[in-house]
Amino acid sequence: MFVPVLLLLVTLCAVGGHGEEPKRPGHVSVVIVGATGDLAKKYLWNGFFQLYVKQVSSGNTFSFYGGGQSPADKANPLLFEILKSVSCSKGVSEERCALLKEQFLRLAQYRQLRTLEHYQDLAKHIEKRLQEEGITEAGRLFYLSVPAFAYADIADKINNSCRPTSGAWLRVVLEKPFGHDSTSAQMLASQLGASLREEEMYRIDHYLGKQVIAKILPFRIQNKKFLDPIWNKHHIERVEIVMKETLDVRGRIPFYDQYGVIRDVIQNHLTEVMMLLTMRLPRNLTSSEEVVENKLRILSSLLPLGKNQAVIGQYQAYKSEVQQELNKTKHHISVTPTFAAVLAHIDETQYEGVPVLLISGKMLDERIVFHLGHGSLQYPAILVSKNLFKPALMEEQREAYEELISHIFAGQKNSFISVENLLASWDLWTPLLTSLSSSFPRIYPGGADNEDLLDFCLTGKDIRYKSEVVIISPDQMGGMAPNGFQVIQGKFRSSDMVSAWAEELVEQLAADVQEAAEAAVRESGVFHLALSGGSSPIALFHRLVRHHFSFPWRDTHVWMVDERCVPETELESNFFTIYNLLLQHVRIPYFNIHPMPVQLNHRLCVEEDRGAQLYEKDINNLVNGSSFHFVLLGAGYDGHTASLFPGTKVEEYGESLVVLTESPVKPHQRMSLTFSAINRARTVALLVMGKGKHELVTQLSRMKDNPEKWPVTGVKPANGRLVWYIDYDALLGQ
């Protein structure tokens, strides 16, 4: 049985309350460092205004300081504009709102906070005010809305000069990122630890302030009786935590390109959700220690994540956005993933064998649910996309900040990230990030065009993309291909692919033909080779001629893949080319050469002359099981292969091995092997060369089988092997 957690989650939103009140009422100084920045402008000031509105009759008094690098005369007008734009929540009358805003404005002021002296001045100012007004101090709240590299320095200044009078609390709020791997996170933690005590630090993941996330634990606890018996491997088929975004990252590239989707979303947000869903329930929800401890237990029981536990992608336009925003040349490539699906397993009896999927990406299609290779589930276990994260929706972000600010004020640490959790999470993700750092993400077009390009499947503990495609971009090769001469082996349309510069590619193909020949001769004393015409194989013929002494030509039969209906003595004849360039130069017995009988009774390709049937009979008689050892094919711009052209129904040919066909270009009449013949072969090589084929290769890399429209996709040897030989020109288009 499968429990759709999604459905359960939808019902859980109304549970729970706010945190406890601060311990002693008194004066609270709120300092927003980075007061005129984007985040402050959009969410923080408004969040603190809501706090003020809630607390206005609580016995606490407030002052608000906006801090920043600029001198006061410059920043004051800016801050004033921001403060004017705060708004009351519904239910507050217009009059009252105006009054509250006016009070709030009077309580707020800008302070330049750059040097240690500035911080000392601020402290003096706060203390003077406390003395003058004869009020006790409740605490000081610093919200650092600045880049992470500035944290340590500011924390040091706070510790040096801004600690409150004894008995009052100090709370310093930090926003992610908290490092970009284990080492940097550790370093930041120890720097901050030198200035602030752990209980004084509030590491914010605003995502955790979202209602649905915040209510996971209360919901699990409230419904414990019902959920406990089914919260295990027997009832949960898998857990999916998905955060899909339709947006790109334009405008954020300088940050994003250093982080990527795993650091930006999965290491923090989705990992947190996973912990909340799978952790052992605390006996007491208000005990932060127990919550932290249980989360840690889940993190440490996750099996290590390696390369095989993730698939990554990058949306197509990302590259040029990077070039633009980072002012890079056209040659600059980025391997930063904008999509990732990670497969985790929790090594606990309760969850044994339950796959845990963490999926997130930019430029995805909201509507498409990822299809897994097995199972017929309609819903992912928890779909976090629609209801939870839409950066475009300001409302939700605002609420998240409001919620978190009220938790900070209440000193309730559950919704914040502890240093132990943070470091344990980086310990889990860093090895994966390291192993992926040299991998090239699959390029996806974005939106609905992604189709099933990002679908993946699970095999045991591994995850991989469902369709093996080559992404046609030099990025794939790390920019090294154009200089390198190596032959690379890869996958194309789920088959093997060999790729190299043209000369090396042909050399490899020749070596592979020879190896097949020698193996066949060893095994059965004969080698049946079917060759196509066209221009692509010419280089191969040259190559075979040059090294013909070692090739078992004596035991080789050469067949034709297709032929134009012209006399054998004409230039247009495939046979003419093959004979001239290859056969006449090697020691192949005359009777082993099998041209297609396109000319019978002094006429060309007339149905009644039954040339195709004759050739088929020859094949049946000479080739064991009509199974060629090696068939060499090309692919035309329109996707044709052999002389099988778009628009022909495969079924038309029935079981025939050889047929007459019609080409859209002259000479129109052709004779060709059919898929029945081709797909019986032991090895089929599909040779695609030249810049002009780049578009074709790109399309093929993404296309489903559709032999009627793209005949080359009908090449699928039933018991044999298909190998694509694609040169760099065709692969990379450059």
Ligand X SMILES: *[C@@H]1O[C@H](CO)[C@@H](O)[C@H](O)[C@H]1NC(C)=O
User: Binding residues for ligand X, per CB under 6 A?
Assistant: 159-160, 194-197, 284, 286-287, 327, 524, 624-625
Closest CB to ligand X among residues 324, 569: 324
Active-site entry in 27, 180, 269, 557 = 269
Identify the CA nearest to 326 among candidates 240, 241, 252: 252
Burial class (CB in 10 A: 0-12, 13-18, 19+), 519: middle
Number of Cα atoms under 13 Å in the Cβ half of residue 32:
26
Q: What is the Cβ-side half-sphere exposure of residue 141, based on CA atoms within 13 angstroms? A: 23
Distance linking the first and last C-alpha atoms of the chain: 53
Active site residue 557: no
Collapse the DSSP code of 306 into the 3-class scheme (helix H, G, I; strand E, B; otherwise coil) and give the result: coil
What is the length of the chain?
734
Of the candidates 105, 27, 99, 107, which has an alpha carbon nearest to the alpha carbon of residue 64?
107
Distance CA 64, CA 53 (A): 13
Report the nearest approach of ligand X to the CB of residue 523 (Å): 7
CB atoms within 10 A of CB 319: 19
Q: Tell the smallest beta-carbon distance from residue 191 to ligand X (Å).
A: 11
Strands 721-727, 108-112: pairing is unpaired
Please tell me the distance from the alpha carbon of residue 50 to that of residue 90, in angstroms, as a whole number. 11
Residue 134 vs 525, nearer CB to ligand X: 525
Shortest reach from residue 116's CB to ligand X, in Å: 12
Task: Compute the least distance from the CB of residue 553 to ligand X, in Å.
Answer: 19
Alpha carbons within 13 A on the beta-carbon side of 425: 26
Q: Which is nearer to ligand X, 123 or 689 (CB)?
A: 123
The residue (of 114 and 197) whose beta carbon lies closer to ligand X is: 197
Find all residues with CB under 8 Å of 291, minimum gap 6, and list them. Answer: 217, 279, 282, 285, 414
Q: Rounded to whole angstroms, what are the CA distances from 17 to 218, 288, 291, 476?
A: 10, 16, 17, 51
Q: Where are the alpha helices (DSSP H) in 598-637?
A: 611-622
The closest of 497, 485, 481 to 697, measured between CA atoms, is 497
Tokens representing residue 72 in the block: 């006061």
Nearer to ligand X by C-beta: 289 or 449? 289
CB atoms within 10 A of CB 48: 24
Minimum Å distance from CB 17 to ligand X? 14
Minimum distance between the CB of residue 20 and ligand X, rounded to whole angstroms? 9
Closer Cβ to ligand X, 136 or 624, answer by number: 624
Helix, coil or strand: residue 725:
strand
Catalytic residues: 269
